[in-house]
Copies of this chain bind each other. A is one copy, B any other.
């Protein structure tokens, strides 16, 4: 007996839709049933109108077969900092309660033009910038956070509400919740997908990406978004793959779950015939405090300008984190910002060069399992530097921790090698996940 539709990956559903074994309405009904049963616990959605979803599904069913897009009928959840023309975009902020832009963000416009069914809006922390807020729970344990700030996107995909969700990452807001909830995710190369129409926090770091339950689904999206490598992507068999295990300058933040996962990953890859090298960031990138300071200066200094409008319109309803950013409570100077921007830029070609010496880099995705409690959404310590380096990161949810919660690893490639990353990621994840369910 086939699994219920909501359990299927986007690619599997797409085949059923293409063969007209199901239609979009049938599919949407099954997802809505799942959400009805589960969302009182998971609370992944900040806006979802079943009637509107079904009307959209009907309209998609009426498109003649020859005119259907490459994502025809696939349900997509959209993080609530990304504008949608037909739904509110409330940004996790009371200032934006009921707010609607009536114009799709670029990423949503491209999804819609490809035939996707824009399902609803998923929860976020305030402007992606705060580290608490929504009461979304981790589908694997309602006492635990799904991670932030793409909380709802991760939870909705992990809990089988939709097969695809749009996330946005400034520090670790895609990869960390993907790790905590056990789903695949791609944070593509910076600016490979236009951020137009998305709330800006730090324009040097902000990156849009996707959460799914399979790499094939990420591949589908990468093709729709015209992510193209310079070279044709080579199929690299396991025995010809070389992997750089990079524990990163933040390794001391790793908890027992992540330490065990990284060890197990190394062992599994070696057992599969992969050539494994344990590698460190070259100087001066190996200085944890410096890396952290650079990211913090840039994100805070850019966010200070990004949120000036909200501060001027009504600072009284902004959270203390956002107010502190605009008021520059950290006292960063412009010179701090310029120096940090220039230094970070000088690091990018170093990382690119390092990445090109191996098939892929393997690194931690988060410190450990998702923490208990909904207020602390975990640390982006293992993600922010990759975001600033502008390199693509693939989350592979291969492991579990001491409490049975998911633990992931990150696969990383050089800039604009997103297609290569997905291909080698598929090969390696088959080996890494051989034992997982």
Interface residues of A (CB under 8 A from B): 99-103, 106, 109-110, 113-114, 189, 191-196, 199-200, 203, 225-226, 228-230, 302, 305-306, 308-309, 312-313, 333-335, 337-339, 341-342, 345-346, 348-349, 352, 415-416
Contact = CB atoms under 8 A, between A and B. Distances in A.
A159 to B, nearest CB: 30
Given A194-B200, A334-B415, A337-B416, A309 B106 contact: yes
Contact of A101 (B102, B109, B194, B352): B102
A203 B230 contact: no
Contacts of A333: 230
19 contacts: A99-B103, A101-B102, A102-B102, A106-B200, A106-B308, A109-B309, A113-B312, A113-B313, A114-B312, A189-B334, A191-B305, A194-B200, A194-B305, A194-B308, A195-B200, A334-B415, A338-B352, A342-B348, A345-B345
A416 B338 contact: yes
Contacts of A302: 191
Contact of A100 (B102, B189, B194, B349): B102
Contact of A416 (B191, B229, B334): B334
Given A101-B102, A106-B309, 8 more contacts: A113-B309, A114-B312, A194-B305, A195-B203, A230-B334, A338-B352, A339-B349, A342-B345
A419 to B, nearest CB: 11
A370 to B, nearest CB: 31
A196 B415 CA distance: 25
A308 B342 contact: no
Contacts of A348: 338, 341-342
A356 to B, nearest CB: 10
Nearest to A69: B312
A349 B106 CA distance: 33
Contact of A346 (B191, B346, B416): B346
Contacts of A306: 106, 194, 196
A221 B342 CA distance: 28
A332 B301 CA distance: 32
Contacts of A102: 100-103
A230 B335 contact: yes
Contacts of A193: 305
Contacts of A305: 191-194, 226
Nearest to A304: B226
A99 to B, nearest CB: 7
Contacts of A113: 309, 312-313
A138 to B, nearest CB: 31
Contacts of A110: 308-309, 312
A203 B225 contact: no
Nearest to A302: B191
Nearest to A105: B309
A109 B312 contact: yes
Nearest to A334: B416
Task: Pick the 9 closest A-B CB pairs, nearest first.
Answer: A345-B345, A334-B416, A113-B312, A109-B309, A106-B309, A196-B200, A101-B103, A230-B333, A102-B102
